[in-house]
Chains A and B, each alone.
Chain A
Amino acid sequence: MTTPILPALSAERLSATTLLRFATAGSVDDGKSTLVGRLLHDSKSILTDQLEAVEQVSLSRGQEAPDLALLTDGLRAEREQGITIDVAYRYFATTRRRFILADTPGHVQYTRNMVTGASTAELAVVLVDARNGVVEQTRRHAAVAALLRVPHVVLAVNKMDLVEYAEPVFAAIAEEFTAYAASLGVPEITAIPISALAGDNVVEPSAHMDWYGGPTVLEHLETVPVSHDLTACHARFPVQYVIRPQTAEHPDYRGYAGQIAAGVFRVGEAVSVLPSGRTTTITGIDALGESVDIAWAPQSVTLRLADDIDISRGDLIAPADDAPPVTQDVEATVCHVADQPLSVGKRVLLKHTTRTVKAIVKDIPSRLTLDDLSQHPAPGQLVANDIGRVVVRTAEPLALDAYADSRRTGSFLLIDPADGTTLTAGMAGTAFAAAPEPVVADADDAEWDF
């Protein structure tokens, strides 16, 4: 059963929904635009005037049917070339949830754009053409989702109508992909057989695939859990801004404003301030004007502390008994996103949470080939869309977590100090999550090609 579309909603039902950020990835002709178009269209998120505009342009170009890609290709250059150059963000809603869709281009040269889309995504949809199965590009998309630690991955096996809706075709692709993605440490994989063009299992359950008992794409998007058990996360609070009104009404107020990056903070808790390491106690939490006893990620709050110690933007507040290590030597997996290369010896700025420090690239030990996950030692430099390992020395200590523990406090940017260009997206610590222990180590494992 699919949930009713927006117009049936009352205001109360609407406000009770949660938000899911997800990204789509697929090769050029896998039908990604059709899938996105169908999700938007069938959830009534394409409004009449937008559709009319698309129809008008399609018609003027001599196309018979409206080209739904025109909805997402918002730039002149994209429409002229008929390709998606940049990430587009789309918004739609059902009774259960609001969605922010990062629609990322499929071309190999736009790996950086998939990285951009995946960096904030809680779920990635990887599209595969049922006729072609798992191809290089599929492995690349799975690897990027794994690197960025996107918590949920959906494999959408598309164009099932062109393989006579055959279960064995789907099962073989699902098995191959799941084994590959699991080996990269993707925690959850859901495979769904679909036809975006015919509408099978996208919003409505398919009448052609009785053998499939799982959810449609939209049902899965609506029900996948978005927030994690924060009590199990290391609590982290990067200080953004110090609030000191110095007014007659609030002469002594001093609060540390920020967005909780991970975990939970409570009034009365003993905390450390990094990198100095001084300790104090939380005396109050102001949640945008309301005083509360407890706050959690990703709430934007203001913390008040017992001691008047020196704290400024860039510092990190963490529980006294669970503070991250402080280091000036950062080892990370990075995706190079700029046109100018990154070389050993390059002086850069490193932006980590609210802190920007000078840094130097000490080493580039390896470059990763996403197609087969092989490592090329000592490439000397990274160019646009390369993924590699780097070692960076910073001028000041950073309170850095492993990206595996926190996407927020384990991520950073390298910035060119000369012109401000964002050069590189960094993820501290090991590249891929450790593969989960196989439940049964049977002989089939030997045939997996990784």
Chain B
Amino acid sequence: MSTVTSVPEGTVNPYALNHLDSLESEAVHIFREVAGEFERPVILFSGGKDSIVMLHLALKAFAPAPVPFTLLHVDTGHNFPEVLEYRDRTVAKHGLRLHVASVQEYIDAGKLRERPDGTRNPLQTVPLTEAIQQHRFDAVFGGGRRDEEKARAKERVFSLRDEFSQWDPRRQRPELWQLYNGRHAPGEHVRVFPISNWTELDVWQYIEREGIELPEIYFAHEREVFSRNGMWLTAGGWGGPKEHEATETRLVRYRTVGDMSCTGAVDSDATTLEAVITEIAASRLTERGATRADDKMSEAAMEDRKREGYF
């Protein structure tokens, strides 16, 4: 067998990038491609760790100029107050513009109906897609990662959506080299996932390396919770707990941030980034398996929601 290597074994290649630098460089390239080719891009920003990392990458990509994108948050009305506070503080700090699409307003106006199970995650699709149409966004950045879920693992970095925001997995464009094809007809848009190739651990390591501030709920703290479907949910005005569900105070933290009605906390004593990383590296559960109720609804729950226009 021939063995032709460019660098002799045992030597350190001075030009090798570590995995975080590789992922960062790739994500920045994607942000700049969108800035170069689209008219009205927007970053989905929820105040969750993935969107916080995305904003951080966008800030670095265009420095010392400001980020050339606005932000959009789909507020379910059941968001954690600490996260909303973080969102508003961050937007103000960087002089950004934030659009908020409110699920509560849609419910109050009778355009959406509350589900019997109380979860509002699936209800986000309509306000999201209407906001995209209303503001004529042609590129919508999302913090989706392919390691999160098996339907996401199949999605391209540039994901074309039709005028109804629908994803058709069988009509995806092959994505070759780093040549992203963002062509779309008027009314269509492209969902863009710059951190597709990151894992949950990569996100946390990057947060640590870059010294990025996060909402407090990502770190262990005492919280009033109750158990539902094997998850610790935060008690609150959104509708929990029910009569038979007893609350207790536990030391917990969140691995994901979403709607309070379907995002569970995990038992944890990790109060620092280092402790969180150690905990994640040892965890035998995926982030979604541990803390998201809506993905457990059916085998293809995510694929079905994505087809309808969800991220």
Contacts and interface: CB of A to CB of B under 8 A. Distances in A.
A227 B7 CA distance: 8
Contacts of B174: 112-113, 115-116, 337, 422, 425
A206 interface: no
Q: How large is the interface on A (under 10, 10 to 19, 20 to 34, 35 or more residues)?
A: 35 or more
Nearest to A349: B183
A49 B16 CA distance: 35
Contacts of B202: 98
Interface string B267-286: 00000001001100111111
Interface string B201-219: 1100100110000000000
A412 to B, nearest CB: 7
B209 A174 contact: no
A74 B4 CA distance: 37
Contact of A240 (B36, B179, B282, B288): B36
A51 B297 CA distance: 17
Contact of B299 (A57, A240, A300, A354): A57
Interface residues of B, number: 80
Interface in B14-37: 15-26, 28-29, 32-33, 35-36
Contacts of A244: 65
A197 to B, nearest CB: 23
A218 interface: no
B154 interface: yes
A241 interface: yes
B83 interface: no
B4 to A, nearest CB: 5
B208 A11 contact: yes
Nearest to B172: A86
B303 interface: yes
Interface in A74-119: 74-77, 79, 85-91, 93, 97-98, 100, 112-113, 115-116, 119
A188 B153 contact: no
Contacts of B15: 227, 229-230, 264, 296-297
B134 interface: no
B184 interface: yes
A223 B13 CA distance: 13
Interface of B: 1-7, 9, 13, 15-26, 28-29, 32-33, 35-36, 60-66, 146-147, 149-154, 160, 169-170, 172-179, 181, 183-185, 196-197, 199, 201-202, 205, 208-209, 274, 277-278, 281-286, 288-290, 299-300, 303
Closest 10 CB pairs of A and B: A49-B289, A420-B183, A74-B150, A245-B65, A300-B28, A19-B19, A259-B29, A98-B19, A228-B6, A7-B282
Interface of A: 6-7, 9-11, 14-19, 47-50, 53, 57, 71-77, 79, 85-91, 93, 97-98, 100, 112-113, 115-116, 119-120, 174, 178, 182, 187-191, 223-230, 232, 240-241, 243-245, 247, 249-250, 253, 257-259, 264, 286, 288-289, 296-300, 313, 337, 349, 351, 353-354, 407-408, 411-413, 415, 419-422, 425, 436
